[in-house]
Amino acid sequence: MRSILILALPLLLAACQQDSDPGPGGVTRGEARALDDAAAMLDSRPAPPPLVDATVPVEASASAAP
């Protein structure tokens, strides 16, 4: 029984992951999780309003400029 515990201990310790362990792209796991959360937050925001007034034709607005 004791030998099973001695063999299982390194396996249990190896299974533990910390936020400071290297993750994808050279960042830590915690940083990767924070970047994923930030990307999800930005993706959930509504689209900004268009910069150009879609009701005015481009030719009309160009000819009206001085």
Alpha carbon distance 40, 23 (integer Å): 19
Give the model's pLDDT for residue 38: 95
Give the model's pLDDT for residue 45: 92
Alpha carbon distance 24, 43 (integer Å): 21
Name the residue type at position 62: A
Give the model's pLDDT for residue 49: 81
Alpha carbon distance 14, 35 (integer Å): 25
Q: Which single residue is written with the structure tokens 């924070």?
A: 34
Helices (H), the chain: 2-15, 29-44, 58-64
Give the model's pLDDT for residue 48: 84
Binned at pLDDT 50, 70 and 90, residue 41 comes out as very high
pLDDT above 70: residue 17: no
